[in-house]
Amino acid sequence: MVPRQTATVRIELDLSDDPADYVFRHPVRVRFAETDAMGVVHHSAYVPFLEEARVEWLRALGHPYSELRDEGIELAVLELVVQYRRSARFEDVVVVHTRVSRFRGATFQIDYLLTVDGEVAALGATVHGVVDAAGRATRAPAWFKQLMTGPS
């Protein structure tokens, strides 16, 4: 008997809700366009918040995303998880805290803690694949891995 095929999800869900466990923070002011008819931020609107935070993180580290592209590297999103804890509202400032929790040769995971006024609004993680211009999986450049994981 062949077992039913199921998805192998790479995300490891040990998401810390302690800001001290994260190394970068980026504030995002909620747009009215991001709210929904329940009066709160629509759950899909958080996904671009995560993206904005990781892009700003690279810029803050001195290596904007365009540098990766100049090396022929793209970072594809392979997996996404978000756990919603407390609704955010129009004009709230959502602080997105980020860290790299795993880095293998061609994939890495970023964890996110989202807070509003110091309260946990959401937790999340994305797994990224390093791909070349043709979309093939490739090893991350050494400088990039070092940048994201810090000296060790």
Catalytic residues: 36
Nearer to a copy of itself, 31 or 136 (CB): 31
Q: Does 5 bind a copy of itself (CB under 8 A)?
A: yes
x/- track of binding to a copy of itself for residues 41-60 (CB under 8 A): -xxx--xx--xx--xx--x-
- The Cα–Cα gap between 132 and 139 comes to 9
Nearer to a copy of itself, 56 or 140 (CB): 56
List Cβ neighbours of 25 (8 Å cut-off, separation of 6 or more): 19, 95, 96, 97, 98
Min CB(128)–a copy of itself separation in Å = 10
Of how many residues is the chain composed? Answer: 152
Are the CB atoms for 124 and 112 separated by under 8 Å? yes
> What is the distance, to the nearest Å, from the Cα of residue 143 to the centroid of all Cα atoms in its chain?
19
Q: Name which of 121, 119, 114, 122 is nearest 95 in CA terms.
A: 114
Q: Which of residues 65-104 bind a copy of itself (CB under 8 A)?
A: 65-66, 74, 76-84, 89-91
φ, ψ for residue 126, nearest 5 deg: -130, 140
Residue type for position 58: L
Q: Does 39 bind a copy of itself (CB under 8 A)?
A: yes
Q: Choose, by CB under 8 A, the member of 19, 23, 27, 31 that binds a copy of itself.
A: 31
Residue type for position 48: P
Min CB(146)–a copy of itself separation in Å = 22
Binding stretches for a copy of itself (CB under 8 A): 4-7, 9, 11, 13-18, 21, 29, 31-40, 42-44, 47-48, 51-52, 55-56, 59, 64-66, 74, 76-84, 89-91, 123
